[in-house]
Chain A
Amino acid sequence: MIHSSRVRIAITGLNAKPDNPSSGLAVARCIRETAEFNGKIIGLSYDVMDPGLYQNEIIDSAYLLPYPSSGDQVLLDRLKEIYHKDPFDILIPCLDAELPNLIRLQNHLQQIGIVLLLPNGEQLNRRDKNRLPELAVQTGVKSPEITQISHPGFFYTCHQKGWQYPLVVKGIYYDAGIAFNAEEAAAIFRKIAAEWGLPILVQRFVVGEEFNLTAIGDGAGRLNGAVMMRKRAVTDKGKAWAGVTIHDEILLNTAEKLITELKWVGPLEVEMLRTSQGVYHLIEINPRFPAWVYLTAAAGCNLPWMLVKMILREKLENQNPEIGKYYIRYSQDSVIERSEFESMTIWGQRNDDDNNN
């Protein structure tokens, strides 16, 4: 098996939009800045406007993928095409919506030499947003009630079923908003449904502060390298704009209960709300690294690199993250040559040859 220092890694999720970035570019940055890494990073994304496709200092070559809705075979064919042109050993998906396709394709990909560390379909489904309360009951963790709807009429009659405002309106994969009345809720419903489709989820609102934990499940019920973060500032979408590493045994134990129950395999993020009484409520479990994952490397517990070593079955070093490490996100304009944009638009790729020209 290839050594981690020379491994070729493909990473998805390069749509680093300032107010709601995916984690792909942060994952790539963690790996790129690892001193012992001298391999190659291949970026995979869906839109020519995804800025991560053009970050030459982090991503060696980049390719467009078909959207997950295109189906398994179309995705497999494209990955094979890229592989034969620009081989890679490991694929790290960074978008929730990619997971179902890749879980189904995992064996096919392994046959051609691409390795992933993913949960199985049942594990993935058990952490679906609409099934979280069920998982919470099984593990003794608190989680706000959630219901699935397909029509905004719910918001005008929900008080009859015991729902009170404010409440949280969420997409099945992405996006969420807090609504203080039926009109606001219906507007959020329509906005999320237009972008991400139906159904829409409605979750009871819990007053609390947001704490997140990211780690890698080993499949035997254990967490590797848990890093905890408290959000210090959020965007209008509720995404962390600034945060600080913390260590709370209660948060860690709660996450461990969930991961042990799921026997989770691969990266994940547990999102919790902590009330003023110190009680944690489970809000979401994301099946991938979070956008703030670079903080793990900055705090001395580089989780993307740990994932690479786990996949390659190399010895893991015990790394305790530094507590009190802050990050503040900022946006920056990337300048792209017309030839790069042209290549991505026409050929769906930017490779080493383009960089050398």
Chain B
Amino acid sequence: MEEVFVNIGEIKVLTQEGRLVAVGLGSCVGLILYDALAKVGGMAHVFLPTNRKGGDNPHPGKFADTAVAAMVEQMTALGAQKRRLKAKMAGGSQLFSYGASVMDVGRQNVEALQRELQTAGIPLVASDVLGSRGRKLIFDVGTGQVLVFVIGQEPVEL
């Protein structure tokens, strides 16, 4: 089965079958959109809530406020219908403890994506976010199954 890795800032879309995989989600969030009827599935590996530093943004998947719209566009082009899309997401953790130095980017990413999904009218049906552990996310587009992996723990179905 085709396995497609979704690196930081990327959006990948598959139809009918194959797996989308995001590795090493710390403060990043893996966002999944799925049209179960058309079997069109997409994953974005979101890095930051917004492009605060400005400049060109060749990677809409990198930022929460551009990822959702770009994903919807790519997915509808492959036959998905926006009104049928459902969302799941995982990530947004705060791995570092003690130091106050790392801003809570994970939480900001999660909150920004929740807002964007609401604005787009896409229901968020499941999420495994925040906390202090890194995650790996696997989405089987053929079956719709989503698994979340954490080091030293059994995978959890989302």
The finding on whether chains A and B are genuine partners in a shared complex, rather than unrelated, reads no
Q: Which residues of B come within 8 Å of A, CB atoms?
A: none
- A residues neighboring B (CB under 8 Å): none
